[in-house]
Amino acid sequence: MNIIHTKNLTKTYIRFEKEEGLRGSIKSLFKREKIVKTAVNNFNLEINEGEFVGLIGPNGAGKTTLMKMLTGIISPSSGTISVLGYVPNELKNAYKKQFSIVMGQKSQLFQDLSAADTFLLLKEIYDIPEDEYRKNLKYFIDLFSIADYLNVQVRTLSLGERMKMELVAALLHNPRILFLDEPTIGLDAVAQKQIRGFLKEVNREKGTTILLTSHYMDDIKSLCKRCIVVNNGCKIYDGNLEMLFDRYQTHKMITVTFDEATSYIHDFNVQIIERNPFKLSFMAYRKDVRHIINCIMTECEIKDISIEEEDIGNVVERIYSDKGGALIEEIF
Amino acid sequence: MKKYFETAKVLFKAQLVYRFDTITSIIFTISKVFLAYVLWGAIFGKQSVVSGFTFNSMLSYYIISSFINQLDQSSSTGWQISNEIRNGGFSKYIIKPMNIFGYFTAQTAGVSAFLLFFNLTAAVIWIFIFRVDFAITSNGWYIQSASVLILLGLLFMMQLNYFIGILAFKFLDTGIFMMIKDNIVQFIIGSLIPLALLPSGIIKTMTFFPFYYVSYLPTMLLLGRNGNEIFSGIVILLFWNAAFGLLISITYKRLKSRYDGVGI
């Protein structure tokens, strides 16, 4: 069932530009240069219930603006939005009870109190029945293993612990949709992995629809089947994540080590990363990998060989720098 | 209603977190009573009555009025609202299924309840130690009317500060509005220039503003004076509350669309 639907959604911001220096500041008191920035442009989106969708794009692409419009925090300049049959910007309480948003850089917990105190407040704000509250709290305490620091002042928690608490706070009222804006920002690899595990579980067990923005492609790759790429406020790709990576993860990283000093030279179309008599690292087109490996193994005495996927950062850079139109035509 | 009660409770709990702060706040109240005792003791000297007030009734006036003024914590809530609008933190209130004004009122009430509880206890102890013959009236009608006026006055101050806070949707920096408000309030309640020095026409005009009834009139009522102003005080405060309720509703609807939720 389609629960998020937007049509020709556009948001423009008005900003003011000021010339640098004191003179510019005085001048701007009398006359300011107005700049109109289109953050989201004619955006069409359909999301079904239970989907886990990744929203990626460079900084300033319009991802967060889109989320803010879907939650009703800001109003669109034009176009229509319907989420669970509601117009978000009308901010009806019945709608607010059915979604949650977690912003990695903003907290909804009271810093001076324990997370348990905030949870009690949220129980009343969302009118969560006592039984349901106890059941949900127990479920999340077990899932996130947070029993030990539930009653500790939030201010003293580590970033990873705090983020777990933020997620519990967002999920206590069983929202049908969870909007996540960079939930793993600043977390170490272990905490990131844990958070990913919880989100996967919540999506699978509770059927919560999740829309996730993240700059960490590992988050997107391990959680989302569907991915939407946004750049300059426009949707440049919407579809299967694997297909996107098949198209853009064009290279593989090959590292060969030799038992003896070797000066292997061959006319391959590769990009050398490291070269010394005992080691050779290079990037090769995926289609050429089999041929290159065959040649090396035939012509040299090798000690070890490794073939790895290309660094995800390169792939992302390639996706963002592509022309939107060309991308969509080629994929579909 | 329970959600707002829980909000007030959370803020009450938040005041208790830092023990040093709690103790200092109590000591501050105590020192205020002590200073008033010394100051008015020096002013009265050998006189038994100054401007119709005895030493005890003057001290009682000071304690009650500073107590009522301290109960009004809405100014810091106003600052908080405008800061949160400016840095994007206001979004977390917009998306909650609650009345935002109700939430901030409950939050302010939680802080006021803390001050009421701890400082009242401290003040009572000190009144006992200094053996201040507390000149509070025993007239039940005056006490009830003063309580109603205090509640209406606090609600009005909350509405006024909330209104200034949400002006940040348009102006971002509401510091100047806060400053103007503070000056007007100080002028009307007579803390800048004693009201008695002003022409009677101006004093009469001021009685149409709500500030006169927020702390001055309830204090006088609790001292058993100005009973003839009860009715007009309640009517004027009801009028200003209704007017600001309407103003807030219109302003919020008109200005909310300007909110960008920056920083998230």
**Rounded mean pLDDT, B83-88:** 91
pLDDT in tens, A193-240: 888 988 999 899 889 999 998 887 778 888 998 999 888 899 988 998
pLDDT at B1 exceeding the cut of 90:
no
Q: Per residue in A38-49, is it b (16+ CB within 10 Å) or e — as a string?
A: bbbbebebebee
**Residue B236's pLDDT is what?**
95
Of the candidates A36, A45, A35, A41, the one whose C-alpha atom is nearest the C-alpha of residue A11 is A41
**Residue A325's pLDDT is what?**
41
CA distance B71 to B154: 8
Contact A154, A114 (CB under 8 A): yes
Q: From A67, which residue of chain B is nearest by alpha-carbon distance?
A: B264
Of the candidates B215, B211, B233, the one whose C-alpha atom is nearest the C-alpha of residue B64 is B215
Q: From A76, which residue of chain B is nearest by alpha-carbon distance?
A: B257
Q: What is the ipTM of this complex?
A: 0.85
Which token pair is B114? 């803390």
Which span out of A105-109, B49-53, B84-88 was modeled with the highest average pLDDT?
Answer: B84-88
Please, which residues bridge with residue A12 across strands?
Answer: A38
> Which letter does DSSP use for residue B214 in this model?
I
**Residue A241's pLDDT is what?**
86
**Rounded mean pLDDT, A272-279:** 87
Which token pair is B209? 């503003």
Contact A150, A112 (CB under 8 A): no
**Residue B231's pLDDT is what?**
94
Q: Where does the pLDDT of residue A310 fall: very low under 50, low under 70, confident under 90, or very high at 90 and above? A: confident
CA distance A12 to B114: 45
Q: Where does the pLDDT of residue A332 fall: very low under 50, low under 70, confident under 90, or very high at 90 and above? A: very low
More confident residue, A5 or B24: A5
CA distance A282 to A280: 7
**Residue A100's pLDDT is what?**
94
pLDDT at A88 exceeding the cut of 60:
yes
Q: How far is CA A321 from CA A232, A263, A314, A315, in A?
A: 11, 37, 11, 10
> Is residue A125 within 8 angstroms of chain B, CB to CB?
yes
Chain B residues with a Cβ under 8 Å from any Cβ in chain A = 2-3, 5-7, 10, 13-14, 17-18, 88-89, 91-92, 94-98, 256-257, 259-261, 263-264
pLDDT in tens, B115-142: 888 777 777 777 777 776 777 888 899 9
Please, which residues bridge with residue A253 across strands?
Answer: A283, A308
**Rounded mean pLDDT, A281-299:** 88
Are B264 and A113 a contacting pair at CB < 8 A? no
Q: Where does the pLDDT of residue A95 fall: very low under 50, low under 70, confident under 90, or very high at 90 and above? A: very high
Query: Which amino acid appears at position B82 of this protein?
Result: S
Residues of A in contact with B259 (CB under 8 A): 73-74
> Is residue A35 within 8 angstroms of chain B, CB to CB?
no
The Cα of A2 is separated from the nearest Cα of chain B by a number of Å equal to: 22
Q: Per residue in A52-75, is it b (16+ CB within 10 Å) or e — as a string?
A: bbbbbbbeebbbbbbbbbbbbbbb
Query: Which amino acid appears at position B239 of this protein?
Result: F
CA distance A58 to B260: 20
CB contact set of B249 (below 8 Å; sequence gap of 6+):
none
The CB-side HSE value for A53 (13 A sphere, CA atoms) comes to 23
**Residue A265's pLDDT is what?**
67
CA distance A81 to A73: 13
pLDDT at B97 exceeding the cut of 70:
yes
pLDDT in tens, B226-261: 889 899 999 999 999 999 999 999 999 999 888 887
The two beta strands, A270-276 and A279-285, are: antiparallel
More confident residue, B104 or B205: B104
pLDDT at A93 exceeding the cut of 70:
yes
CA distance B1 to A177: 26
CA A49 to chain centre: 19
Q: Where does the pLDDT of residue B156 fall: very low under 50, low under 70, confident under 90, or very high at 90 and above? A: very high
**Residue A330's pLDDT is what?**
41
Query: Which amino acid appears at position B218 of this protein?
Result: P
**Residue A326's pLDDT is what?**
43
pLDDT in tens, A9-21: 999 988 888 778 8
Q: What percentage of chain A carries pLDDT values higher than 90?
A: 39
pLDDT at A71 exceeding the cut of 90:
yes
Of the candidates A88, A45, A42, the one whose C-alpha atom is nearest the C-alpha of residue A228 is A45
Are A121 and B94 a contacting pair at CB < 8 A? no
Of the candidates A294, A219, A190, the one whose C-alpha atom is nearest the C-alpha of residue A52 is A219
> Is residue A209 within 8 angstroms of chain B, CB to CB?
no
Q: What percentage of chain A carries pLDDT values higher than 70?
A: 95
More confident residue, A65 or A244: A65
**Residue B191's pLDDT is what?**
66
**Residue A329's pLDDT is what?**
40
Are A124 and B17 a contacting pair at CB < 8 A? no
Structure pTM?
0.85
**Rounded mean pLDDT, B76-85:** 94
**Rounded mean pLDDT, A233-253:** 86
Tell me which residues of chain A, numbers 148 to 187, contact chain B at a CB-CB cutoff of 8 Å. Answer: 153, 181
pLDDT in tens, A118-176: 999 999 999 999 999 999 999 999 888 888 889 999 999 988 889 899 999 999 999 99
CA distance A208 to A221: 18
Q: Where does the pLDDT of residue A312 fall: very low under 50, low under 70, confident under 90, or very high at 90 and above? A: low
CA distance B94 to B90: 7
**Residue A328's pLDDT is what?**
43
Average pLDDT over chain A reads: 86
Mutation for B interface: A111, A125, A178, most B CBs within 10 A: A125
Mutation for B interface: A66, A106, A128, A185, most B CBs within 10 A: A106
CA distance A253 to A231: 28
**Residue A322's pLDDT is what?**
65
pLDDT in tens, B161-200: 999 999 999 888 888 999 998 888 888 876 666 666 778 8
**Residue A228's pLDDT is what?**
92
Which token pair is B152? 């209406």
Long-range CB contacts (< 8 A, 24+ apart) of A72-76? A72/A96, A72/B94, A72/B95, A73/B91, A73/B94, A73/B95, A73/B259, A73/B261, A74/A11, A74/B259, A74/B260, A74/B261, A75/B256, A75/B257, A76/A9, A76/A10, A76/A11, A76/A40
Residues of A in contact with B7 (CB under 8 A): 121, 124-125
CA distance A276 to B187: 83
**Residue B263's pLDDT is what?**
60
Residues of B in contact with A108 (CB under 8 A): 92
CA distance A72 to A95: 10
